[in-house]
Amino acid sequence: MPPAAPHERHILCMKWGRKYGPEYVNRLYAMVRRHLRGDFQFVCLTDDASGIRTEVRCLPIPPLDLPAGIPERGWNKLATFSADLHGLRGTALFLDVDVVVVGPLEDFFTQPGEFLIIHDYKRPWRITGNSSVYRFELGAHADVLEYFRGHFQEIRGRFRNEQAYLSDFLHRQGQLTYWPEGWCPSFKYHSIPRWPTNYWKAPVVPPGARIVVFHGECNPPDALAGRRNRRWRHIQPAAWVAEHWHE
């Protein structure tokens, strides 16, 4: 009897529109390669593969056929739950393209749980997860996408974005699990010193961090330059971003 094939590991990311250029995907690949031992396949679901490095396998985003002109709320991420995502099989770790990887990633593939996601930072009493980092078995949660396709208007009326719907759906099935606290801190909430020390202290890498998540106010280039999109909330440059966020 032939030996069983090794279980495949996939890193998934997604890039659509013009908000992020190919350098985000290229740097994300480089960070993962530095922090994940062993074999893996890096896949970018995208509408434009130009400028993306050859080590990244670029595949089309499965269409969701959403109404034109609606606000962008991350709904495209739900395409990762296709019953057959371009024939991929194995375990997938999804990463937003604007995260910064600062520590080892092996445990993200071995941590117990059917579906793992970041627990919401701002309102931890809620079940909602932050979908900047989530893990699942490819093809195992096709009902997430099937129900979304058939009930979009209802879902849009109940949930602000894809991560709220996704968390609720899997929680009701008893499959929602969160990453250990500290693995995926928020740059906004955990790196920036509290006022007024943010005026003279630089943002830090929180202890135990493995993936720093950027959401709401800054992306990595902004953090490196000391910029926020809220002018009255100052930050010093986060020099450590340059140590990690590069090819």
CA 133 to chain centre: 4
Mean pLDDT of the region 102-130: 93
- At 5 the pLDDT is 45
Tally Cβ neighbours within 10 Å of residue 58. 19
Residues 6+ apart with CB under 8 A from 145: 78, 79, 81, 82, 83
Tally Cβ neighbours within 10 Å of residue 116. 21
Q: 211, 11, 230, 223: which is closest to 99 by C-alpha? A: 211
Res. 58: pLDDT tops 50: yes
Q: What is the pLDDT of residues 193-242, one digit of tens each?
A: 998 999 999 999 999 999 999 987 789 999 999 987 665 678 999 999 99
Structure tokens at 194: 């509290």
What domains can be seen in the chain, in order of their start residue?
Answer: 9-97+114-178 (3.90.550.10)
Please name the helix (run of DSSP H) or strand (run of DSSP E) that holds residue 96, with its range, or none.
none
Q: What is the pLDDT of residues 146-196, one digit of tens each?
A: 999 999 889 989 998 999 999 999 999 999 999 999 999 999 999 999 989
What are the CA-CA distances from residue 185 to residues 120, 149, 150, 154 (Å)? 10, 32, 34, 32
Q: How confident is the model at residue 124 (pLDDT cuts 50, 70, 90)?
A: confident
Distance CA 131, CA 118 (A): 7
Q: 45, 63, 64: which is closest to 150 by C-alpha? A: 64
Mean pLDDT of the region 25-52: 98
Q: What is the pLDDT of residues 62-108, one digit of tens each?
A: 988 777 767 666 899 999 999 999 999 999 999 999 999 999 999 99
Structure tokens at 156: 């849009």
- At 3 the pLDDT is 39
